[in-house]
């Protein structure tokens, strides 16, 4: 069955069609979210939120763009929301620790993306740590283009911006990464 028919069936409440969409796109969604949030459990939770949002919003998909573009947009939005929530929790944790209310310490582990070969894991961990320091839009553009392999046109559709804006985001992301990584390699 072609994708348009599956999507239409899912819109009409066909659970098997919805399951087929999830199975087809689960790796795309998970890898995109993981590239942004960089924690496996959080990526799994966020990916579930993406599919829940997709289910609730499927009626609004008009077919003006590719379905994958529409789904990438939801994934990036949900991942960035998760990052904002995490920053808010960290700020609150700092405040509570100043007043001695929070005794737990957060442990940060090295992040390894499943798409990275074993020989490159150390370098990838350094890169992903540097990515965390980029502004949201630069990080999203970098993940979509470099990790997910989207073209600049596709990334601009996902980010709802022009190709020129994506090119500028990528240029700034690369410049910022050079500065951040310079410390590591000097």
Contacts of the segment 135-140: beta carbons below 8 A, 24+ positions apart? 136/80, 136/83, 137/169, 138/169, 138/170, 138/172, 138/173, 138/176, 139/36, 139/173, 140/36, 140/76, 140/79, 140/80
Question: Which tokens sit at 57?
Answer: 């919003």
Cα distance between the two ends of the chain: 54
- Residue range 95-123, pLDDT digits in tens: 555 555 554 444 344 555 555 555 566 77
pLDDT band at 15 (very low <50, low <70, confident <90, very high): very high
Q: Which residue segments constitute the domains of the chain, with CATH numbers given?
A: 1-109 (1.10.1740.10), 111-186 (1.10.10.10)
- Residue range 142-180, pLDDT digits in tens: 999 998 999 999 999 999 999 999 999 999 999 999 999
pTM of the model: 0.76
Q: Would you state the pLDDT for residue 171?
A: 97
- Residue range 53-96, pLDDT digits in tens: 999 999 999 988 899 999 999 999 999 999 988 877 665 555 55
Q: Would you state the pLDDT for residue 90?
A: 61
Question: Which tokens sit at 73?
Answer: 């947009």
> How many whole angstroms separate alpha carbon 135 and alpha carbon 155?
16
């Amino acid at each position: 069955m072609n994708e348009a028919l599956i999507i239409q069936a899912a819109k009409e409440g066909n659970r098997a069609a919805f399951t087929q969409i999830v199975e087809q796109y689960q790796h795309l969604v998970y890898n995109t979210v993981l590239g942004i949030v960089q924690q496996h459990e959080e990526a799994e939770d966020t990916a579930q939120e993406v599919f829940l949002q997709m289910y609730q919003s499927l009626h609004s998909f008009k077919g003006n763009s590719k379905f994958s573009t529409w789904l990438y947009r939801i994934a990036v939005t949900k991942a960035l929301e998760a990052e904002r929530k995490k920053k808010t929790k960290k700020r609150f944790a700092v405040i509570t620790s100043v007043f001695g209310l929070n005794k737990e310490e957060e442990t940060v582990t090295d992040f390894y993306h499943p798409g990275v070969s074993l020989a490159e894991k150390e370098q990838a961990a350094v890169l992903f740590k540097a990515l965390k320091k980029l502004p949201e839009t630069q990080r999203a553009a970098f993940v979509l283009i470099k990790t997910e392999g989207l073209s600049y046109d596709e990334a601009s559709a996902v980010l709802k911006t022009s190709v020129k804006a994506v090119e500028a985001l990528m240029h700034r992301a690369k410049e910022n990464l050079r500065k951040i990584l310079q410390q590591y390699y000097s």
